[in-house]
Amino acid sequence: MEFLILFGSHQTLHAKRLAVAAPGTGNWTFVSFNITLDPNVAMVAVGLSPSDPGGASSGYWIDACGTYSSRIEGGQEVCITGPGPHNIWYGKSGGNANSAYTIRQIPKPTFPVDDSVRVGCSLPLHIYGLNNITMTSHNSLYDSWLNLSNPSDPIFTPGYVPPSGYIDFDISGNQIASTSCGVYTSSATVRIYIFNALVPSVNPNPANFCQGGSVSLTASATGGVSPYTFSWYNNATNTIISSASSTPPINTAGTYTVYVSDVLTSGGCLPVGLSRSVTETLQPTINAGTDDTVCATSPTALLNASITNASGVVWTSPGGGTFSPSSTALSPSYTASATDLMNGFVDLTCTATGCVNNSDVVRIYFDAGPSAIINTPTLNCNNSTGIVIVSPSGGFGATSYYWSNGATGSSQTFGAGTYSVTVVDAYGCGANHPFTLTSPSALSLVMSSTDETAPLAADGTASASPSGGTTPYSYLWNTSATSSSISGLSSAAYTVTVTDANGCSISGSTVVNLPICTGFNASASGTDVSCFGGNDGSATISFIGGAGSSGPYSYIWQTSPVQTTVTATGLTAGVYEVIVTDITLGCRSVATATVNQPTQLSNTMTHTDNSVIGGTSGTATANVSGGTPAYSYLWNNGQTSSMASGLAAGTYSVSITDANLCTISDNVIINEPPCNNFQAAVNTSGVLCFGESNGSATVVVAHGTAPYQYSLDGAAFIPNPSGTFTGLNGGAHTLNIMDASNCVVTQNFTINNPSALSVGLSPTSITCYGLSNGTIDLSVSGGTTPYSFEWINNNGNITIAHTEDVIGLAASTYSVTVTDANGCSTSASAGITMPSAISVTNITTDLTCNGTNDGAIDATVSGGQSPYTYAWTYPNGGSSTNEDISSLSPGQYLLTVTDANFCTRINSVNAYVNEPAVVNIINYTIDCPAPGNTFAVVTVDSISGGTDGPYQLSFDGGAYLSSGTYSTSLSINSTHTISAMDGNGCTTTSASTISIDPAVSISNVSFNPCIPSGSNSIAVTVTPTGGDGGNYQVSSDNGATFSALGVHTLNLPISQSYQIVVRDSSGCNSLPYSITIPGELIISGVADSVACLNGNDGSILVSSVGGTLPYNISWTGPSSGNPAGNEITSIGGTYSINNLSAGVYTITTTDANSCTSSTTITVGTTIDLINPSISCPGTISTNNQGGLCSAVVNFGTPVGTDNCPGAITTQLAGLASGSTFPVGTTTNTFLVTDAQGRTATCSFDVTIIDAELPGISCPAT
């Protein structure tokens, strides 16, 4: 076998030693290897798996062509050095067992190559494959620049450029291999070139632009190794904006950082960054405020502009009104001119001054409020109501209505009285409009009557006397009469309706009674309604008495609809009549009941206005009358007494409820006269730094009366002619301004207090041991932008930067001072740390079984910055990113560890995973299944590989059998798997697949069941299947004897039964197959003749033998016979075919195998020797018919007979029966002829006698 050893571990397949003896070894057998080492391989260890198989002694011979003197005892690893090729023999006396051979390499160490680094950077150096490493410079002055805390990964960090520009380092160490090769020592020299630090710069400095403009930044660099490359970043978006030395035009304020790279830039020598803050001078913005509307009766508006980035403002008006205190105040008041009022509005322009001027316009509308026409109705009746409608015009927006009864719509229904409505527009501008409604006096009626003087006298009277309302009156009685009085009345009730000139009406009733009803009367009482205008009153009969009051009674209440019970319900206020009738006597009486109602619940509002704008001293009082005391109150601000107090300006409503739960609502407006137009605004200037007290506020007033006094934050009122307050601290303040009329307006204002200048430091420590790439990200809030920065390295108190963020930092503590635009400053500090070097240890676990790939390497990492990432290199080209790896195949595994900062330790693990020999099933035996059995016994004969100890077997993936059990029964005609497991649980790498043949069987036995005539034997062909599919043998005597191989056809005697058995080439037999060979099928028959010609009483007696029952017998011939259908089925013996006519018949027998046998049989006819016979009637004599010489004679026609059917009768002479015979004698003769032609005759006479005398006629005398 030839091997070129590169990197890794190799194991051969099992190699069998040849039965060849080396010189002087006697009866030894050998295997030979030729090995050549790769230049990067230091040594190779050759071993045997297992280390020394059992048997006699063994040994190796190396580079000696088999010379016995170079022998090394077997069971030891052999170490080979030098490139080779090397020739290795392994020999062992005695047997030829297979073995596997393991070849493991020990690679040469890897040293760093010459490299370069600049000051400010660190250069990681990687040494692979050495232990006990030493590394020193040729000038020990520079050894301090070398970090050897991890000797396999030293880090070089130069402090400056040495005079020579480079430093040489000597490296030495040894490798301890985990093989018999022992210790390997090696050394090398590496040269490191050092260059000056890379220093970037950026212009312009400082960098700013005006809003709408832009600025470009340009970077340059010194130090390092050119050429340089540049990457500009926008820090806000962390995106690259340029890869050139200059940026494109920048029009967004922010921090921009350039990273400069040179030729030496790498993982340990990062790009150097420099940040530059770009500021923007913003254009002024102006908001003149929102459009406003003021009432034309008080046309002063308070303006409120807001600006940013502006130095001041200027207000202008085209209408010539007045700004107070001046047109340069940010929030002055403006009083309209006559021109403004005439136009109805004015547009005021506010211009903000700055690097450019920007303007905004606010429009002030002057609202005269709506005018209104009050349309009042005429009230015709005393208790009628009418609708009052308001018709407004003018004003702005929606119109609102406030009626004196609390209603708010554009119309309202009222009765007689005095009322008012206030009409205002959306801005509250408008006026109050009073009005009065009047009505006539109430209509009343008095009724009277006189009774009848006697029953049926019809002399009663009734009269109506109205008053009030509007004359003249009209009348309508229930008798249709139309006068005020009616007479000639019978006993009854009479009702009249009186209508005045305005159509107002009233009704009344009276009764006319009989004399017996004198004194009959009734009275009623009423229950009042709860609330004015309600309908919950009632009236009840309270007394019935006097003459005629015997009862029962009927009741008719004059209600609508009419009620007929004792009590009428659901009544409104009024007088109700009821006619009470004694049903027995017919006496009647009219009673009245009065249902009253409380007076209408009403309210008069009184109030006191506030004395100052924004005050809360207003009151409103509800003065209630009517209804039913006591009263309760609920104001819309939640107060519950008759007087609401502490009211600010606005509209207030109250709901009043009396004792009967009747309610009324009313409202009132609280004003701020005479100060309701007094206004003020405050212009402020914030403090410079958080917590200071240097803010100021200037007051602007409108509509007040000078001089003014001021109360700041609750202090006493004092004059301040300038209206400016200084020395204010930041926060909320309250200023009360009082004019000469003691009107007070309150302004709350806030002095802007910049948030405290605050800094946040986010340090990013050095990523890898020995580097200088720390950064500090500074975040600033509060204060007033822009900011300036000063960074100091506390180690030496050296100023290192004036940028917001700093990069490229070594391990140390750094401080920064931030100063804002107002000169406020704050400081903070942060430390930069450096992680320890990455260190890795590992534990290797070899494969437990060949092919299981269950090797594992457990790596433990320390140092650096967790979490770590892992890059394993597998011998088969695979890889893994796990810390620990498992399920490994044999070979060499290398690990490179990278920490969270992307620092790496290359080949930190160099480990080998070894593999034992494979378990193999060498041979097995499959027994023939017993005929008819579905299982066969399988026995494993030999197993190799794995470890010592008895093997266990698993069939078809089932559980492993107990140790030493190597046989089992498996289903035939199936494929099965066999797996072996050694004492350590190692199994075959892949199960052995075996196929158990199907059972030997006979799919068909064929022969011709129709035995040819005269044959004594027949060829029988057997079709075997199953088994091993090779040459079969056939037995006809149940396996006692077999044919030759491959002979499947036998000649067997007929008329016998056989047991056919098939045997395959493996000697496995089939189940017997039974057959029976029939004899030759033969048919015969005997005929019985027909008795008469054309008769059908012939028969044939049929007999069949041979063939296979049942038989089917069919025939053809002149007649079908009996049974009908020309076919019968027989199970053997003889069978008679009857009722046959004479002729030749072909008879065929068909057996169960469709074999046929035919014969021809003739049915004859017996000769007829008997003549036919015939009999005629006797002589017939009769007279002639009258007047004729003849007569018609009828007789029975003679019919012949014969012993055989078919006799034919014919008339030879004479006339047929029914003919006219002549006078005289006629002889009739008849003939009969049978089928054989034999004849017979008979005759008879028919005589006609002329019985009439002749006549004669003589001539006249």
Among 869, 884, 913, the domain-final residue is: 913
Indicate which CATH number applies to the domain containing 457: 2.60.40
The mean pLDDT of 248-252, rounded to a whole number, is 90
| Phi and psi angles of residue 479, each rounded to the nearest 5 degrees, phi first | -95, 5
The mean pLDDT of 535-549, rounded to a whole number, is 84
Helix (H) or strand (E) holding 342: helix 338-343
Q: Is the pLDDT of residue 13 over 70?
A: no
Amino acid type, 792: I
Give the count of domains, the chain: 12
Rounded CA-CA distance 364/335 in Å is 10
Looking at the fold, whether 21 and 102 belong to one and the same domain comes out as yes
pLDDT at 656: 94
Amino acid type, 179: T
pLDDT at 661: 93
Looking at the fold, whether 972 and 1017 belong to one and the same domain comes out as no
Strand, helix or coil for residue 144: helix
Q: Is the pLDDT of residue 53 over 60?
A: no
Structural domain contains residue 363? no
Per-residue b/e over 287-309, b at no fewer than 16 CB within 10 Å?
A: ebbeeebbbbeebbbbbbbbbee
Both structure tokens of 523: 């009275």
124 and 268 Cβ atoms separated by less than 8 Å: yes
Looking at the fold, whether 936 and 980 belong to one and the same domain comes out as yes
Rounded CA-CA distance 757/824 in Å is 7
- What's the pLDDT band for 1 if we cut at 50, 70, 90? very low
Q: Is the pLDDT of residue 55 over 50?
A: no
For residue range 84-122, what is the model confidence (pLDDT) as tens digits?
A: 777 776 666 554 444 556 677 777 788 889 999 988 788
pLDDT at 88: 73
For residue range 324-376, what is the model confidence (pLDDT) as tens digits?
A: 878 888 888 888 998 998 898 999 999 988 767 889 999 998 888 888 888 98
For residue range 138-187, what is the model confidence (pLDDT) as tens digits?
A: 887 888 888 887 788 888 888 888 989 999 999 998 875 555 666 778 88
Structural domain contains residue 296? no
Judged on CB neighbours under 10 Å (0-12, 13-18, 19+), 191 is middle
Structural domain contains residue 811? no
Rounded CA-CA distance 313/348 in Å is 13
pLDDT at 316: 94
Indicate which CATH number applies to the domain containing 1157: 2.60.40.2410
Both structure tokens of 564: 């007929």
Looking at the fold, whether 595 and 631 belong to one and the same domain comes out as no
Structural domain contains residue 276? yes
**Mean confidence (pLDDT) of the chain:** 84
Helix (DSSP H) and strand (DSSP E) numbers for the chain: 1, 102
Looking at the fold, whether 1144 and 1201 belong to one and the same domain comes out as no
Rounded CA-CA distance 212/197 in Å is 39
**Higher per-residue confidence, 52 vs 658:** 658
pLDDT at 613: 64
Both structure tokens of 362: 């606010």
Indicate which CATH number applies to the domain containing 119: 2.60.40.10
361 and 348 Cβ atoms separated by less than 8 Å: yes
pLDDT at 58: 54
Rounded CA-CA distance 174/756 in Å is 63
Residue 709 pairs in a beta bridge with 719, 738
Q: Considering only the C-alpha atoms of the chain, give the largest distance between any 2 of them, rounded to a whole number of Å.
A: 219
Looking at the fold, whether 76 and 45 belong to one and the same domain comes out as yes
159 and 143 Cβ atoms separated by less than 8 Å: no
The share of the chain scoring above pLDDT 90, in percent, equals 26
Structural domain contains residue 683? no
For residue range 1037-1068, what is the model confidence (pLDDT) as tens digits?
A: 998 899 888 888 999 999 899 999 999 888 88
Rounded CA-CA distance 526/84 in Å is 142
**Higher per-residue confidence, 463 vs 31:** 463
Contact residues for 164 (Cβ-Cβ < 8 A; gap 6+): none
The share of the chain scoring above pLDDT 70, in percent, equals 90
Helix (H) or strand (E) holding 340: helix 338-343
For residue range 721-768, what is the model confidence (pLDDT) as tens digits?
A: 888 899 999 888 989 888 877 777 888 888 888 888 988 888 888 877
Looking at the fold, whether 660 and 568 belong to one and the same domain comes out as no
Domain range for 496: 441-512
The DSSP bridge pattern shows strands 386-394 and 1001-1007 to be unpaired
Q: Taking Cα atoms as reference points, which of 626, 625, 621, 594 lies closest to residue 606?
A: 621
Among 414, 437, 460, the domain-final residue is: 437
Among 961, 996, 1031, the domain-final residue is: 996
Looking at the fold, whether 102 and 24 belong to one and the same domain comes out as yes
Rounded CA-CA distance 1138/1146 in Å is 15
Structural domain contains residue 968? yes
Question: Is the backbone peptide bond immediately before 332 cis, with ω within 30 degrees of 0?
Answer: no
**Token pair 């409604």 is at which residue?**
437
Rounded CA-CA distance 125/157 in Å is 11
The DSSP bridge pattern shows strands 272-281 and 207-210 to be parallel
pLDDT at 28: 60
Indicate which CATH number applies to the domain containing 44: 2.60.120
Structural domain contains residue 1258? no
Both structure tokens of 230: 């540049």
Which one of 62-71, 629-638, 955-964, 1168-1177 scores highest in mean pLDDT?
629-638
Structural domain contains residue 345? no
Looking at the fold, whether 47 and 90 belong to one and the same domain comes out as yes
Contact residues for 683 (Cβ-Cβ < 8 A; gap 6+): 329, 330, 331, 697, 698, 700
Looking at the fold, whether 1216 and 1244 belong to one and the same domain comes out as yes
Judged on CB neighbours under 10 Å (0-12, 13-18, 19+), 82 is exposed
pLDDT at 1125: 57
Looking at the fold, whether 1109 and 1126 belong to one and the same domain comes out as yes
Q: Taking Cα atoms as reference points, which of 572, 577, 578 lies closest to residue 595?
A: 572
Q: Is the pLDDT of residue 486 over 90?
A: yes
Looking at the fold, whether 523 and 567 belong to one and the same domain comes out as yes
